A and B are shown apart, each in its own frame.
Chain A
Amino acid sequence: MSSALQWINRAGAWGVKYGKVLFASRFLPVIGTLATLVIMLIFGQIRYSGRMGYSFVSLPVLTALLQNNAYLIVLAIGMTFVILSGGIDLSVGAVVALTTVVIARLLPVGVPLGITLIIAVLVGTAMGLLIGVMVQSFGIQPFIASLAVLFLARGLSNVIGVDENGVVRSLAIVHEGFAKLASWSIKFGEGRAIWRINASVLIAIAVLIIAYLVLHHTRFGRTVYGIGQGDNGMAAGLMGLNPERSKIAIYMISGTCAGIAGVLFALFMQTGFCQHGIGMELDAIAAVVIGGTLLAGGSGFVLGSAAGVLVYGLIFVFIPREGLDATWSRIFMGVILLLFVLLQRAITVRGEKRSAGHGAKKPQLASKKASIDEGHRDNRTEVNDE
C-alpha cells in the first residue's frame, strides 16, 4: 500500500518537474497546437469510425494526410525560419508555381530527371537570394522585397509556362522517370489496412529533421533566433554571431524550401501551371502561426509548424466529411486562426504579468510598461531596416 503511495508521489513529483518545463511559456503555444491536433483526431475518431471496422485514427488515414500536405510542411518549415527572424516571405506560392513550370518545361526537352529537379530547387534558392540581398543590402522591408519577388516569379512562370502554341495552360508533366518517382512508395500492411509512405513524405520528414538540427544545434540557428529578438540582430552580432550573412541565408533557405515544395507539388499534381499556388504563402504563414511561432519573431519551433500544417490539413479532411461546402473550410480556418492568436496573446500577457511580479518593486507599473512595450513591439513586426 505504502509503496503504491510512494509511486504515486514520485510520479506526481516527476509530473510537476517536467510539467513545469513543458508548460513554460515558450512551449505553451506548441502544446496548444498539439492539444488541438489530438482533440481533432479524437473528434474524427468518434465521429467517423465504426463502420465496418473503419477507424479514423489509423495509419492509412494519417499517412494520406501526410502525403497530401507534404509540400505544405516543407513550405511552412522555410517560412518558420523567416518568421523566427522577424521577417516574412510572401513569394513562396509564386516560387512553387515557377518550380512546377520549370520542371514541366525542362523534362520534355530531354534534361535528365535529377538535373531538372536540382535546377528546380535552385530556382527557388535564387529567388530567395534575391529577397535576401534586397532585405540585407538595400534595407528594403521583407514584406515589399518578397512581394516584388512574388510578382517576378509569377510573371516568369507566366512567361515560361506556355505550351508550344504560346497559350498559357496547365502543362502535363509526361516523363517516365518522374511518373515513377511520383508513384513510388513503400507499402505496409495488407488489404484494407494498407498504408504507404511515398517520396514526398520522406523528403518532408528529412527536411523537417535537417531544419530542426540546424535551428537548435548550430551557430546559424542561434543567429536566426537572435535576429528575431526585435533589436535587428544587434545582440546576436555583439555575441559574435553574424546576423548580416545569416539574414541572406534565411531567405535562401525559405526559397530553397519553396523550390523543394514546388517539386513535391509537381509530384502531387503531375502538372506545371503558372496558376498553381495562389495564396499558398498565406496557407504557410497560417500554418506557422497555428504552430505556435510568434509573428514578431524570436519564438517558435519547426516541429510546431509541422503540427500546424496537420491541423490545417485536418480541417480540409473534416469539412467534406461533414457534408459542408468547401468554402466553409476557409471560414473554419479563420476561426481556428483567431482562437490560436487569442491563445498566444493570453499566454504573452500571462508571461508578462508573471515576470513583472517577480522582478519589479512596483509590479503594476511594470506590468503596464511591459504590456505597452509588447504592443509596441507587436506593431513593429515588419521593422527590419538598418
Chain B
Amino acid sequence: MTIKAMKASEVAKKVVNNEPLFILDVRNGDAFADWKIEGGNIQYLNTPYFDLLDGVERVVSELPKDRDILVVCAKEGSSVMVAEMLSDEGIDAAYLEGGMKAWSEHLEPVKVGELQGGGELYQFVRLGKGCLSYMAISEGEAAVIDATRMAHIFLDFAQEKGAVIKHVFDTHLHADHISGGRAIAEATGANYYLPSKDAEEVVFGYTALENGLEVAIGSSKIKIEAFYSPGHTIGSTSFIVDHQYLMTGDILFIDSIGRPDLAGLADDWVGDLRESLYSRYQKLADELIVLPAHFMIMEELNKDGSVAKKLGDLFKDNHGLNIADEQEFRDMVTKNLPPQPNAYQDIRKTNMGQIAPDEEVQREMEIGPNRCAVR
C-alpha cells in the first residue's frame, strides 16, 4: 500500500469544517503537550516514534476504523516512517506533509467583509499558531496589517487580486512571531509603519505610526485610521478601517485580553491596558467588528473560519472587559501568567532588525503556541 501525504491546507479545511480526524502524533511527549494541531472534532494519540521502532503493534488496537488517520511529527521524516509501518499492517494512514513546521506556516485567507466601493477585507488565519493578519484591498491598492513571516503569501495574494501593496502596518512590536512587514515593504516599496514608542531600538528605517494617522487606499478612499491603545506594549495601536472594522492587535481578543509583560514591563503597562480597554475602547461604536491579531482557542473561530465579533458583544461576553475592580484586573494580568512564547526575546530582536537569523532558525524560534493573551 502506498502512503498518502496530507497537506497543511487539507488539515486546515478539516479543522474549519469540524470534520472528524484522528491524529497519531509521534513527537516526544513534551513537544505534544506544549503544542499540537487543535480542532473540535480531532481525537489524539501521542506515542513517540522512538517507541515504535520495533513495531507499531502497540498502537494498532487504539486506531479507529471510522476516521481518517493522520500521522504527525515535527518535520515529516518520522511520520513517513510510522505511516509506512502502519501501511505494512494494512492500516490506511496519511502523514502531514512538512510536519508541524508546515502546519505552523500555513495561512488560510478568509474574506471577512466588503468595504465601500467594492473593496474587500481579508483575514489570514494562521491556524497552527493562532496569528491573524489582514489585507484591505480597494481598486487596485492594498494595505497589510500585522503580516506574519511568510511574506510571499501576502505578495502572491495581492498579485492574484491585481492589487499593489501601498501600506504595511504592524500594530505593535511583536514578541510571539516574526513580522513579515519589513520584507513586504522592501519587496513592494510600500511604507512600513511601526508605532514609534515600540520602535526605539529598531535599526532600520520605518514610518512612525502615531495616533490619528490616516491613510486611504483606492480612489474611493477607504480610510484606515490609527488609534493609540497601549497596554500590551507601550506603542500598541489599533486601526479603524472603513468606519466598520476595529483591528485591536494584541490588546483585545475575542475571548481574552492582551498581556502586558512580554516587553518586561507588566507593572508599568497594566494601567495603560486598563485605560485602553475600559476607557478608550468604550468610547467607540458597539457596531464595530473587532478583528484581533490572535486567537487562542478554536472556539474563537466563527463557522466560516474567521475570527471576528462585534465590539458590543465583546463588552458583554469577554471576561477581561468585565472586571469592575481595578486591583482584581491588575492581579489577573500580572500574576499567574501563562509561560512566555518560545524565544520571545530573540523574536523581538529580529523584529527590531538587531539580529538576522537564517530562515531555518526563524522557523525554530516560532515553534509553539503564541501565548499573547490572558484569560
Q: Does B associate with A?
A: no
Q: Which residues of B contact A (CB under 8 A)?
A: none
